[in-house]
Every structure is written in structure tokens, then in C-alpha cells.
Structure 1
Amino acid sequence: MRLLETTALLFINISFLFSQDITISGNVEEISSGEKIIGANILEVNSLSGGSTNEYGFYSISLPVGEINLVVSYVGFQSDTIQFNSSTDTVINVRLSRAVLLDELVVKAEKANRIEEESQMSRNEIPVEQIKKLPAFLGETDVLKTLQLMPGVQSGAEGTSGIFVRGGSIDQNLILVDGVPIYNPTHVLGIFSSFNSDAIKNVSITKGGFPARYGGRLSSVVEVNMKDGHLNEFHGSGQIGLISSKLLLEGPIIPEKSSFLVSMRRSYIDIIGRPIAKAVQSGNQGKVLPTAFFHDLNAKANYELNDRHRLVFSGYYGADHYGVKYNERYEDGSNEATDARVKWGNYIGSLNWNHRMSSKMFANTTLTYSRYRLNNDVLHSYEEEDFEEHFNSLYYSGITDMGLKYSVDYLPGGGHSLKFGTQWTQHTYSPGALTFDLKFEDEVDKRDYLQNKIQSLESAFYVEDDMDFGRFKMNAGVHYSQFFTDGEFYHSLQPRLGMRYLISGGWALKGSYARMAQYVNLLTNESLSLPTDLWVPATGRIGPQASWQVAAGTAKTLWDDYEISLEGYYKKMNNVLSYKPGVSFILGADTDWQDKITQGNGWSYGLEFLFQKKFGKTTGWVAYTLSWNKRQFEGINRGKIFPFKYDRRHDLSLVISHELSKKWSFSGAWIYGTGNAYSIPDANFSFPANVYPGPYDYSVYSEKNNYRMSDYHRLDISFKKTKQKKRIESTWTFGAYNTYFRKNPFFIMQDYDGKLKEVAILPVIPYVSWGFTF
């Protein structure tokens, strides 16, 4: 840490090498709440110099001495113009108010942030207000489901929130909540994400051309930044839906200096489902009582010590309970009972110290904590007068991280914007413990299959420079990571490069190159993010995953309000993981997990097209992806290359939101995708009990993933009615998921005659919800 601070001071002392100009710096905030605005644009009209705010709302630009004309803008807010003369470094804090949609001049004046101006490519940012307008599954607005509608981002199975980015696996996405990794960001077996949209300030996804400050995953970085809380007034919002309700409260602790935010959410499928289940089951017949609910809590507090120092605490807790109870008492007096439960959840927290070291340098120090836990418990009993049978199995696993991050933004001027820093994370893995407890009459058998806890230390150092040379912009950097585990030491030097060149007509040509390394892996069955998944490290036997990716494309802002981009990419992945054939998570519980794994290579390449409008009465986008996704493992498919499960040739999303009037609005989304790859046996054999090795069922596969499910498509719609009273705004939302009842396949059944049947689980699902803000 002291070495980095010394380096930072050295940068200050040599800044004259870049420029002798004065520095204008400060924060950009929302005028009423005091929320720091991420990515606001600052443009000096006379010199056409500019910059943008970082993730903490801080900006700094170097300008010539004399008359200064600043235009500060952000999508969805009214621009602010500040004119003054200065010959010394000056601090200018800016507060923006939300734009008035009816004022067309205001809408056009704020378009300083143009896609062709940015050196970054393969990145999508969706305004939270736009996310809230889109159709929601059962009325629950979902961030990850919205990201699935972006080019290059695919969904998993029907109804799930997991994302697969540019051919990657689900564990290759680095998902950050206020800078802290979250390992399972979903609820109810992946149907809902862990993010309450009411508490979110900013959402973005980066799919390639990764800046050097990111590392640890191969495919994407999803950044979710929570609101800080209103600095001046007490406010709240909430929603009551068919399966869940939520409440958010925010306000000042000390006006203009400190604020808080608390957001709570709970589903009540169990509360509704249990009385119904009891009502349809009567007498002494068996009773099945389902349990399926989730709850989560977000909390945040910040305190401005002075104009240079700020402390921010952020925390999240979320948990799921999923299971079923069965009990039946027979006429002979015997009783049979089963209680199966799955519980999993995340705890994450962070403490940030924002430090403005000078007008050109901003530092942030963060302590992080992240924990994921899973318990899978099955209890079965059968009792007679003189006989008792009892069986209990308990499986648990998890991962815990404790980390420290230190980063510096240094803006010396002369067209340079530097970022450098370090990250340290202590991982503790619980790679599974399975306990069987069996009692049959007088026989008792208890077995424990324990996997020892593993610890590893991951560290990284990075530096990057965003350089502006007029028509040519470049972001160049290097990320160096180290990983200590299981007596092994791995390290990786990862160069990163992103470029943009403006040609005639205002079009931007962009290109990028990035190397990535991943030391933490998820063992999964390539289907749902089921709670049998297991996080494990690279070890002496399991090497780290690695990739390199190149991308090229073009982008332009059309007619001030529209953006168009076209990108092509190629990605090569090494040491990707898969279970060996015939191996499952539970089978062979006494076997080391490393013996169940094989590693191989992956390839992904394709084209992505996006045409979108982010702001105005009518918003939406058209997103199309043409892609190929392949895998190769020595012990799978006889070593031949095969299509990955989520190899989809075509993905198309058409999304629109429109304000019909001051009270009514409409939104719709139509989604199309090529069917998932699936393995179908060419022949099935059944050995009877009297024939070796019977009784046994055996299937023969000629190729892995040799079959394609039917193409996937559906239409979701939503209508909203908003009514403003004196202090409360209420909103009724009506909509439907899968409006025209497309029977999209969830899995495939095959009988012994070879006939296939695709099984759909989600029909048309109407919903209604009521929300309020005050």
C-alpha cells in the first residue's frame, strides 16, 4: 500500500511532463438526492477537451488558462452549462436534474455521450429506468433477464436468469455488487436474480476488450452499483406482486453529509401454496407440502467526512429455501415421512474509503467479504409397530472470500487518463461434505465423505492508460495476476488493448485484444444453476482456465438519439472444465472431486448487431447475434470437437417501450433463439437381472450434443398505469409472459422405441402487481 501511495505521489510530481494546463475537478451528483452519477460526461466547448466521472462520481480534466465553457451531461438528465475564467486549479461540483421529456431541445442537448467517442467496445449499459419499463416474469423486474436481451448474451434454460456470454460458461462471468463478487446471483433455482431493481443505480456488462483493472474471469464483467440513499429527504417505494413483495426506504442521517438505504424483498409461494396443498389433500392419504421461497436484504450507508474523504458501507444478504414434505399414515398404523430441503444463500459486504488526493488524483480503498453456502438435506423414515427404517443424507459446500482492493485514478492531462491498483483475495473453499445415516431394523450404518477445506491466495496488479489523440483513442494496459494454492504457484501476464479511430461521416472503427485467466471454477452439469454446483480452485492437478479474444467493429450515433454498432469477435479458451462421462456430483461421493474432472479447449466466434434508443418517450433496441460455440475434451466424444450445449446459431431480441400518455405506458419484448444442443442416444439396451451385468440400462451415443431442440421464441408484454396523488405515486402493472403460449422445450424424454418428446414447463403466465413511491 505504501509503495502504491509513493508511486501516486511520484505521478503528481512528474505531471508537468504531460501538461502545464490548469485542472478542473469535482463531483457530479443528482440535484435532489445527492446520488453520485457514474459516467456523466464533461465537455469543454472551446478546446473540445473532456472526460467522464468514475464509479464514485469524480471527474478531472486539464484545460488551458482562460475562458472555460463546461457542458455536463448524462442520459436522462438535463445538461448543465458552466462558464467562468480561471488561471488556477478549480473544484467545480455539479448537480444535474432529471430531464423534462416534453422539451425536445433538452433531449437533444444532452447527447454529449456518443458511442463513437469511446475507446471501449463490447460494453452495454442499460439505464435502470428503462429496465423497470420492460415486461417482467411474474411481475418481478429482473436485471439479468434484461441483460439476456443484449447481443452476445444468451440465457440458459427456460425461465432462468443465468447468462452465457460469447460462448463462455456460467462461472466465467464476474458479477460485482458495489465491487464485491457474488457467486450465485439467482433465486428459486435460477428463475430470479438476486438484484432488487428499486435499489440499483447503474448496470453494465463488458463482454470483451476488458480494461486492465478487471480480471479473474474469462467471459464478462457485470457491474451492479447500488443507490447511496437520498441525502436530503426521506423516501420509499414498494411493490406487491403475485409471488413476491418488496420495500425500499432511504433518507438522510445527517442532511447533505450522510444517508442510508434499506431494501427488503420476500416471495410467498410457500404461504400461498401450503393452504392450497392442504385443501386438495384430505383424510389419511399422503400429504405433500411444498416449500419454495426466497428473501433478500440490501443495506447501504455513506458518510462524507469532508470534501476529500468519504466512507461507504454496502451489504447484501439473500437466501433460498426449496423443498417438499411428505407424510402418509397407512390403515395398518404404519407411517412414512420424507423431508427434503435445499438451502443456499449469499452474504456480501464492503467498506469503501474514497480519498481525493489532489485535483488530478482519486484513490479508493475497499475491504470486501463474500460468502456462499449450500445445504442439501434429505430425511426419510418408515415406522411400524416393531420395525423402523430411517435414512438421512446431508450435503453442504461453499466458498468464502476476504479481500482488499486499492485503486487510483490519475488524470495528468495531455490526453491521458491513468488507472492503477492492486487486489488481494483470500479464498476458502468447502468442496463438499456428504453424510449418510442409515438405520434398518437393528442395523445402523453411518458414513462421512468429507472433502478437506482448501485455501488459496489470489492477487493482481494492473495499470492502464486511456489516451486521446483526437481522431484516434486507445486504452492500453496490463493485468498481472498471481495464485497460490495446494502448494502450487500460478501467474499470468495479461495485456489489454482497445482502440478507436474516427473516419468520415462520424463513424468509429474499433478493435480490441484481451488475455484473461481464471483460477476459481464452478463444477456444473451444464444445465440449470442447480444447487449441486460446486466452486473449486485451480490446483496442482487442475490448471487455471485461460483465454484470448480479439474483436473489431464499427459504431455511430444516428439522428442524435439512436446508436448502432456491429462487432465481430473470436475467442479461444484453454483448460475449460467438464465432468468426465458417466460421472455425477453425488455418485462416487468417496472420490476426490479432481478425479471426476477433465479439461479441454473451447472456441467461440460470431457477429453482434445492436440498434438502440435509450431515452425519450419511445425506447428500445434490436439485438442480433450470429455465433458458433465449440468444445473439445480428450475423454469426451472420442476426443472430437462438438457443439457446446448453448451453441446457438441465431439469437434475436426486439424490445420496445412507449409512453402512451401521462398515465399509461406499454412495453414488449419478442425473443428468438436457435434450439440448444442436446445428446440423444442412438440405441438403448436393458439387461435383466439374470444377465450380466444386469439389472442395468445402457445407452449408446454416436456423438455428443447430436440433436437440436426446437427453436425458442416467445412474446412478453406489459402495460403500466401510473397515478400521481399528493405525496404518493401508485403504479398498476399488467402483463403476460409467453403471451401466445409457445411450448418452448425445457428437456427431452425418449422411450425405448426411440420416440422423442420435448417437454415444456412454462405456459402463458399473466401477472399483475401494484407499486408505490413516496
Structure 2
Amino acid sequence: MIKRFLTIIFSFIGSLQVFSQNTEIAVQSDSIPLVEAITQIESKTSYHFYFRKEWLDALKVYKGLVKPPYDYGLIGKLLLNTRLTYYVDGNSIILLYNTNVITEPSIAHSLDNQRQDFEEDDVFFENENNKNDVENRLVTIGNRNKYVKGKMSTVAGYVTDIESGEPVEGVFIYLANPMIGTSTDENGFYAISIPNGQHELIVQSVNMIDTKRRLMVFSDGTMDIKLEPDQIALNAIIINAERERNVKDTQMGLAKINYEDIKVVPPLLGERDIVKVATLTAGVQNVGEGSAGINIRGGKADQNLFLLDGTTIFNTNHFFGFFSVFNTDAIASMELYKSAIPAEFGGRLSSVFDIRSKDPKNDKIFLTGGIGPVTSKLMIEGPTFKKGPTFMIGGRATYSDYVLQQLKNSSLKNNNASFYDVITKFEQKINPKNNLTFTGYFSFDRFQMASDTLLSYTDFEYTNRALAINWSHIISDKLQGDFELGTSSYNYGLGYDLLPTKAFNLDFFIKEYKLAEKLDYYVNEKMNFNFGLEAKLNEVNPGDKYPVGEQSLVAPEKIANEKGFEVAPYFSAIYNYSDQLSIDAGLRYSIFSVLGPASVNEYAEGTPLSKEFITGTKEYRDNQLIKTYHGPEFRFSARYSLNDNSSIKASYGRTRQNIHLLINSASIAPTDVWRLSNAYIKPQVADQVSLGYYKNFYAKHTIETSVEAYYKTIKNLLDVKVGSDLQFNPYVETAILQGKGRSYGIELSVKKSRGWLTGWINYTYSRSLIQLNGEFPEEVINGGVFFPTGYDKPHYINSVTNYKFTRRLTMTLNFVYSTGVPVTYPVGKWNFKSSENLFYSERNAFRIPDYFRMDLGINIEGSHKIKKMVHSSWTFSVYNLLGRDNIYSVFFKVEDGVVNGYKLLVFPTPIPTITYNFSF
């Protein structure tokens, strides 16, 4: 409160120097004093206005303006053509005279997700170190020969941090008169349409020093802006754009996670993990302790699309799910779409994880790293040479079996495990219209298993590879394009060598080649179009088995590769009908072709798919069309603002999936096999409707709240027959069942983002059901009625609480609770030849005990001196602080004729870690 009061006083004193100027305001017979209009607004809202009375004494406004909605738009209209501006702090609206402060430009348009530039005859680039020289210089924009008085021209460019070269998101760029403004997107890009002529452009941002530019605009052109960090940020001045996104955006079901969000979550085994942070958001679950795969809104783990700079990553887990494959130091942000998925994305039913790597710094070389008990990491970034490309290279590696030594299972302690990953990025700004980036990624995992583990092999390794080339091109002042060429692959190999006569290796791979083109057309402040085309070629090697060593008697075998080609054009439009109503509608049309070469099994008519009913095979030559699946994917969402602080949103979306991970348990494993839709396996199709209410409370600190409900149905949902062998199976269609899926739920979320105490809490009620009611008895499960899937967890609560004791010392407490996953138990037994045999319940009729975990993290920052050569921090964390025995799974074995039950615990004791991080 004291800071707010001092801010008001200093602003008033500063404005007294210019108050002697007179302002003439036209007075109409049906006008009222501005003071009276403000009094009416205060009586009908929770706003409180602060101003000097003499500023308003002579001002009158048209009384017809004072009507609902009583929002910032109305305040802007009342102050139009005056020398008054305002900013907002909670419910306080502070009027200022002749002071360039603004929190709500009347036009706030930003072309989302673009990385682009413009080119014109006269281009201005900042190289001056003197701030006053830059601000006082008159910058000419465009071509003098194209000047038309009164015509609107577009000025565009990038806003970056002058020290790091990083783009600055959420910067307000505006003219005070006429009141026209915009803000930068996540890439620091802005575009603003202003009248030709001379103007003063004002630039404001949180944590950056405000600046301005004097412009002479002749026609369309560009101007890049570099901002200096403000080391003393004024807490009293709040820029509202970011916190209002929860209410103002049409998009729903979106979780946006950046590096700042990751920093407040206790690291798992010394590693901060962007994917693990996602599991602490509403509607996102996993099966259990250390499990691989994520389940979103009742979906299977393979129904999530993970993109790194636009390229698919098939296996996102290191060490069977304890870590993700993404090096957080190299990641700028992640956007998770759970509903209303934009039309540009397709290929998975439940969600899209759009992960973007950091742009390399362009001013000097930076080195960052960390040392922990499990992993070490190092990243270097900077320019190669003057005006050359910038680069980033980062890597992580394990160097101990610390994790395995914490496991309770004595046999697992004798195993060896290691992994590493490397990410590289090069960026070249060719000219103001063209930007080129190259992203490369590689990860490697290897395990050596003891002979008494639950696995049937002794050596196992898998790799991810990805390469993405992205070209951003400005076609015109209203049309921008992004073009991507990418390839990715996932390979695994496993081997057995304990018995030389049975020694073998088994290899598997899946590859994807992708070509995508995206165009954005900016019509005006009310209308934007987005359209493009995505093409993918997938190739799968389901298995290649061969003997190892001269003594091996294993016969070499190979399953024929699978090939599929998908093309999907799409179109979407965003229409801002009014300040209250905004609509986003789109259509994506998926065409998937199954291609040869292939040998397709043929089965007797009127019989189930079983090996004994095979009548022959049909051969297809290379690239011969076997079957085509196609269909529309409609995408629609709408937002209606109730007031400045609350809104309701609704959405509908259809998604299709032509690539499937065959899983015979609730959790995925690196050895699970990807297969394509074919003559017998149909694409999965999901329809989801969602409805949400969003409200922000602007008290002393920002509080965001939301409630979202959803209902989803799935056609051709995949499951497998009990006891089926999915690895190296040439008759895989005989092991698969397809039925109907149904999931529904409600998600409640509260987030506090400012102050010494920050964090969030989420509650999710979610059901995930499946119905398997085929034509033949062996295709009917649980009597053909809906029953819980293996990942159905009705109740899920998580919270993250972060308390900042000082600027250098913070403590975080993380809490997770969920219902136990379904399980099938034996309910009876019978004896045959002195051996016990079991009767089992219906599938998934019981549940394992509920899951509960609490984690603690303490972070100690080094000195915050700007000129330090090395910046460092220490992180202390304890995983499973209370040492709870969370059961991962329950299983039964017949041993010496007796049935014994077992439970598997992964981390039954607290696991402390300490990590040292540095940068210079």
C-alpha cells in the first residue's frame, strides 16, 4: 500500500510541471462533468479512482457514453481527446496528466506464434549505446515516394533484450494520440497499423526500461527495438496483458509453461523437468511413481503429440519415465493444448505439447550448467561471428546409479543404467524478411539388466533423433509464412546373451518425415486467417530378430515394414465480433493412405481375426495403395466476456489418430511397439466438447481461477487381448480389440502469481471408460458394458506452494494425491493335479491403494550483482518427503503350486538431492 501511495504522489508531482497548459474541450448541452461520470462508475463497480480535482474541473463528457459495460474501454472513451491517461493497480484506477502510462490500449493486436520481419527502403536498426540519442532521432519508416496523407501503414519488427538478445514478450507499443496500440508475441514480434505522418511511439514492458521512438511514417516498414533490463522493477505498476490472458483469450484448455514456472517446482532427483511440471496442472495425470507416459482428460498415453520446434518426439522418457528427454535449460516455453486444439495441429486424440527451444543469445558467449547426484549438464550459446548465425549446444549425461540404489527391490539395485541427450540450434537472420533456424536433437538410453529381474532380456537401449529446419518469411505487410522440413525417428534394440544357444538381438524403429507450410493473414483488428498444409510419411519396422554369436540357435526373422502417408490441409479464422464476443473456427481434413510393400493376411468370412482362420495373404508392391482413411476434423471455440475480470468459453473439437502405440499395461514402456492404421486397424476418432468459466481477482496480488468441464467420446479405441504378445508379432491384428471410449470430468484451478507467496492448486474429477463389445465372444470384455480403463483415476489433486523468504532464498512444497488405478484381482481358486489355479474378477474391477506424495525444495541464489562473472545457485530437494509406500502395481504368481501376491514399490523412502547450478 505504501509503494502504491508513493507511486501516485511522485506521478502527481511530476505532472505539475506541465499542468499549466490549457485544454479546450467541446461542451455539449447533453454533457455531464467528467467527475460525475467517474462517480457513477464507482457506484456501479468496485473501481476506485485517484486524481487531482483541478485536472477534471473543466472537463465534460457526453452523458450517453456512461453506460454498461463499465470497463477499461469506457474509461478510454471518457479520456479520449484529453491529456489524461491512466494505469490500473488492482481495483485502483489512477489518472495521470501528461504522463505516458497506459495499461489497456484500445487496440491490442499481436500476430501469435510468428517469427517474422518486414523490409522497406529505409530500415532503422539500433546500434547506439546512448539511450537519449536513440529516443531523439527521427526514424523514417517506408518509402517517401509511397507517402499518402491519412493512409494507414503497418510498422513491424522485433523487440529484444539488448543484453541477451532474447525476444521480449508482452511489450506494449502504442501511440498516445490517436490511441492505437499492440503488444509483442512470444517471439518478440509486433505489428501496428498507424496513420502516415510524424508520431511518438511509446514502448513499455515489465522489468525493462521504458523507451520511445520518434517516427516519420511514409509507408509500410520495420523497426526493431532493443530494451534494457530494469533492475529495479516497480511493483506498483502492473501490466495487465499477461494475467488477463486467462480471461481474454478465446483458447481454452491451454496450459502455458515457461522457465519461471519450472523454477518454482522441486526438482526430481536434481533435475527440473518441464514435462513433470505439466503433470502438476489440471487434467494431466500419470499412472504412478516413475511411470512413463501421461494421461490427459481420460486419454491413453499414446494420444499425446510431443513437438520440439515442430518435430515429433516419439519417446519422451529417460530411465523408464523418471526423467523426460528435454533439457530444461534449452527450453523457452511449452504450450499444452487439452481442448480446442488449433487446426494446424493433428495426429493425436488428446493433446499437443508444443515445446519451443530457446533462441540463442546474439551478443556474447554464455555458459550455463549444473552438477547433481544423478546428472550433469552444460550448455553454451552465443554468436559465431559478426552478423553470422547464432548457436546453442546443450547436453546432459548420467554418471552414477544413484537412482537404482534408492530402489527397494534388491534385484533392481544390481542393474546398470545410463543416458544422455544433446540439443543444438543455429539461427540465421538472413534479412529483415527471412529468418532461418536449424534444430537438432539426439538422446540415448542404455540398461543392463540382472538375470533375476522381471524382464526377459539383459541388454536394452533406445534412441531419439530429430532434425527441424524452419524458415520464416514475410510475404507482405499482412501475410506471413512459416515453412518447416523435419525428420524424426525412434529406435530400440534389446538383447539376450545369458545362454549362448539362445542369444539374440531384436531391433525396432519408427521414422517420420514431415513437410509443413503455415500462412497467417492479418485482415484487421477484428479478423485473422490461418491456413496451411501438413504432410507426413511414416515408416515402421515392427521387428527384426537375429542370432548373436556362433553358438546361437535362434533363427533370423523379420516382420515386413509398414508405410503410411498423411496429408492434411487446414483453415481457421479468428473473428472478434465485439469486445465481449470472440470466435475461433477451423477445419482440418486428414487423408491417410496405407502403402505397400506389404503382405496382408486374409481371414475366412464370418470368423474372428485369429491365426487359425487365415486363408492366405495378399501381396502389395512398393508404394501401392492398400487402403485410404479420411475425414474432417472440426475445431470451434468461443469466448464471451462477462466483464473485464471474467468470461465463459465453449469449444468443440474432433481429432483423428492414424498411428498407435500397442500397450498391454496402463503405463507405457520403451519396448512398446508403434503400428500404423492398416486394413484391419482403423483410425481412432475423438469428439470433445468443453465449457469453462474464468475469473481473475485483482486484489493486492493477482489470483487466476478457472473451472472447465468436458465430455469426450472415442471411436475405434484400441485395447489388447489379455496375454497377447505384442512384440515381434506378424499377426498383430489378432491381438487387438477396438471399441468405444468415453471420458468426462471437471477441472478446478486457482493460481496466485505475484507476491512473496505464490503457487497453484488444482482438483480434477475425471472418468475414463471403455466398451469392448465385438461381434464374436472373444471380442467381448466384461459383458460388453463400459468399464474403467487401466488409467482411470477419478480424483486427482495437486498443488505447488512457493514462499520467497528473501530475494535469494525460496522454499517450495509440492503435493500430489490421486485415486489408485484399476486392477484385476483373483477372486477364487481351484485345484488341479495338486496345483492352485485362479478365478479372476472382471477386468479392472478393483483398485490399488490411493497415491499420496509430498516433495520439498529449497533454492539459494547467489549474489544478484549484475557485473558478476559467475552467477550460481544451490538447490536442495527431497522427493517423497514423508516416505510413503506408494504401490506402483500388484501382481500374482504361481510358485511351487501356490499362488503368491506381490506389490511393486518404486520410491518407498525419501530421496534427497543437492544440485549446483552456474552460468557465466
Give the TM-score of the pair, scaled to structure 2: 0.73
Opposite residue 692 of structure 2, the aligned amino acid is G
Question: Aligned pair 1:221/2:352, yes or no?
Answer: yes
Pairing 1:240-259 to 2, within 5 Å after superposition:
240-255=371-386, 258-259=389-390
Opposite residue 142 of structure 1, the aligned amino acid is D
Pairing 1:573-652 to 2, within 5 Å after superposition:
573-586=714-727, 589=728, 591-634=730-773, 635=779, 636-652=781-797
Q: Is the Cα–Cα contact under 8 Å of residues 61 and 411 in structure 1 kept in the other structure?
A: no
Q: Distance in 1 between matches of 2:214 and 2:649?
A: 34
Q: Distance in 2 between matches of 1:36 and 1:271?
A: 38
- Render the CA deviation track for 1:709-767: whole Å, top value 9, x for unaligned: 11111111111112237311121111100101111111114577888664422021111
> What is the aligned partner in structure 2 of residue 664 from structure 1?
809
Q: Distance in 2 between matches of 1:663 and 1:186?
A: 32
Q: Distance in 2 between matches of 1:657 and 1:633?
A: 45
Q: Is the Cα–Cα contact under 8 Å of residues 211 and 475 in structure 1 kept in the other structure?
A: no
Q: Is the Cα–Cα contact under 8 Å of residues 565 and 592 in structure 2 kept in the other structure?
A: yes
Opposite residue 159 of structure 1, the aligned amino acid is G
Moved more, 722-731 or 613-622: 613-622
> What is the aligned partner in structure 2 of residue 722 from structure 1?
861
Q: Distance in 1 between matches of 2:633 and 2:199?
A: 40
Opposite residue 468 of structure 2, the aligned amino acid is S
From 496, 499, 512, give the equivalent of 2:638: 499
Cα offset for 1:446? Answer: 2.8
Question: Aligned pair 1:565/2:706, yes or no?
Answer: yes
% same residue: 30
Moved more, 153-162 or 669-678: 153-162
Opposite residue 796 of structure 2, the aligned amino acid is D
Cα offset for 1:376? Answer: 0.9
Cα offset for 1:364? Answer: 1.2
> What is the aligned partner in structure 1 of residue 443 from structure 2?
318
Pairing 1:112-127 to 2, within 5 Å after superposition:
113-127=244-258
Opposite residue 347 of structure 1, the aligned amino acid is R
Higher RCO (CA 8 Å, separation ≥ 6 residues): 1
Opposite residue 585 of structure 1, the aligned amino acid is L
> What is the aligned partner in structure 2 of residue 25 from structure 1?
156
> What is the aligned partner in structure 1 of residue 466 from structure 2?
348
Moved more, 750-759 or 473-482: 750-759
Q: Structure 1: state its 5+ residue gaps.
A: 1-18, 328-337, 382-388, 690-694
Pairing 1:450-469 to 2, within 5 Å after superposition:
450-469=558-577
Moved more, 369-378 or 495-504: 495-504
Opposite residue 535 of structure 1, the aligned amino acid is W
> What is the aligned partner in structure 2 of residue 368 from structure 1?
486
Cα offset for 1:655? Answer: 0.6
Question: Aligned pair 1:771/2:917, yes or no?
Answer: yes
Q: Distance in 2 between matches of 1:566 and 1:156?
A: 24
Pairing 1:529-548 to 2, within 5 Å after superposition:
529-548=668-687
Q: Distance in 2 between matches of 1:80 and 1:561?
A: 26
Opposite residue 699 of structure 1, the aligned amino acid is L
The structure that is strand-richer by fraction is 1
> What is the aligned partner in structure 1 of residue 399 from structure 2?
268
Q: Is the Cα–Cα contact under 8 Å of residues 293 and 322 in structure 1 kept in the other structure?
A: yes
Opposite residue 320 of structure 2, the aligned amino acid is L
Q: Distance in 2 between matches of 1:25 and 1:502?
A: 29
Q: Is the Cα–Cα contact under 8 Å of residues 707 and 747 in structure 2 kept in the other structure?
A: yes
Cα offset for 1:658? Answer: 2.6
> What is the aligned partner in structure 2 of residue 416 from structure 1?
527
- Render the CA deviation track for 1:262-288: whole Å, top value 9, x for unaligned: 0010012359989x99xxx9xxxx999
> What is the aligned partner in structure 2 of residue 474 from structure 1?
583
Question: Aligned pair 1:186/2:317, yes or no?
Answer: yes
Pairing 1:11-410 to 2, within 5 Å after superposition:
21-37=152-168, 53=184, 56-63=187-194, 86=217, 88-97=219-228, 100=231, 103-108=234-239, 111=242, 113-160=244-291, 162-255=293-386, 258-270=389-401, 290-324=415-449, 340-381=458-499, 390-410=501-521
Cα offset for 1:454? Answer: 1.1
- Render the CA deviation track for 1:200-247: whole Å, top value 9, x for unaligned: 111120100111111111101101111121100111111110111000
- Render the CA deviation track for 1:352-398: whole Å, top value 9, x for unaligned: 111112222221111101010010111123xxxxxxx6221322211
Q: Distance in 1 between matches of 2:401 and 2:803?
A: 36
From 628, 634, 642, give the equivalent of 1:489: 628
Cα offset for 1:520? Answer: 0.8
Q: Is the Cα–Cα contact under 8 Å of residues 108 and 561 in structure 1 kept in the other structure?
A: no
- Render the CA deviation track for 1:553-581: whole Å, top value 9, x for unaligned: 11133216221111111111111111112
- Note closer, same or farther for the CA distance 1:597–1:73 as it changes in structure 2 (3 Å cut): farther
Secondary structure in 1 matching 2:415: strand
- Note closer, same or farther for the CA distance 1:508–1:41 as it changes in structure 2 (3 Å cut): farther
From 653, 660, 673, give the equivalent of 1:521: 660
Q: Distance in 2 between matches of 1:608 and 1:722?
A: 35
Q: Distance in 2 between matches of 1:174 and 1:339?
A: 30
Q: Distance in 2 between matches of 1:112 and 1:324?
A: 49
Q: Distance in 1 between matches of 2:576 and 2:331?
A: 31
Cα offset for 1:146? Answer: 0.4
- Render the CA deviation track for 1:527-549: whole Å, top value 9, x for unaligned: 33212201111111111011111
Moved more, 751-760 or 56-65: 751-760
> What is the aligned partner in structure 2 of residue 12 from structure 1?
none
Q: Is the Cα–Cα contact under 8 Å of residues 75 and 110 in structure 1 kept in the other structure?
A: no
Cα offset for 1:99? Answer: 5.8
Q: Distance in 2 between matches of 1:238 and 1:610?
A: 34
Q: Distance in 2 between matches of 1:22 and 1:426?
A: 42
Q: Is the Cα–Cα contact under 8 Å of residues 737 and 764 in structure 1 kept in the other structure?
A: yes
Q: Distance in 2 between matches of 1:415 and 1:69?
A: 25
- Note closer, same or farther for the CA distance 1:594–1:749 as it changes in structure 2 (3 Å cut): closer
> What is the aligned partner in structure 2 of residue 741 from structure 1?
883
- Note closer, same or farther for the CA distance 1:598–1:701 as it changes in structure 2 (3 Å cut): same
Cα offset for 1:601? Answer: 1.2
Q: Distance in 2 between matches of 1:715 and 1:361?
A: 50
Q: Distance in 2 between matches of 1:619 and 1:366?
A: 38
Q: Is the Cα–Cα contact under 8 Å of residues 290 and 906 in structure 2 kept in the other structure?
A: no
> What is the aligned partner in structure 2 of residue 331 from structure 1?
none
From 828, 832, 838, give the equivalent of 1:683: 828
- Note closer, same or farther for the CA distance 1:413–1:302 as it changes in structure 2 (3 Å cut): same
Cα offset for 1:101? Answer: 6.8
Q: Is the Cα–Cα contact under 8 Å of residues 231 and 255 in structure 1 kept in the other structure?
A: no
- Note closer, same or farther for the CA distance 1:53–1:164 as it changes in structure 2 (3 Å cut): farther
Cα offset for 1:54? Answer: 5.4
- Note closer, same or farther for the CA distance 1:751–1:161 as it changes in structure 2 (3 Å cut): closer
Question: Aligned pair 1:555/2:694, yes or no?
Answer: yes
Q: Distance in 2 between matches of 1:629 and 1:76?
A: 44
Opposite residue 735 of structure 2, the aligned amino acid is K
Q: Is the Cα–Cα contact under 8 Å of residues 169 and 184 in structure 2 kept in the other structure?
A: yes
- Render the CA deviation track for 1:437-495: whole Å, top value 9, x for unaligned: 7999xxx7432342101111111111111121221111111111111114111112111
Opposite residue 437 of structure 2, the aligned amino acid is V
- Note closer, same or farther for the CA distance 1:604–1:183 as it changes in structure 2 (3 Å cut): same
Q: Distance in 1 between matches of 2:787 and 2:822?
A: 10
Q: Is the Cα–Cα contact under 8 Å of residues 645 and 697 in structure 2 kept in the other structure?
A: no
Count of matched residue pairs:
720
Secondary structure in 1 matching 2:869: coil
Q: Distance in 2 between matches of 1:220 and 1:497?
A: 16
From 813, 819, 822, give the equivalent of 1:674: 819
Opposite residue 267 of structure 1, the aligned amino acid is T
Q: Distance in 2 between matches of 1:134 and 1:61?
A: 37
Q: Distance in 2 between matches of 1:743 and 1:47?
A: 64
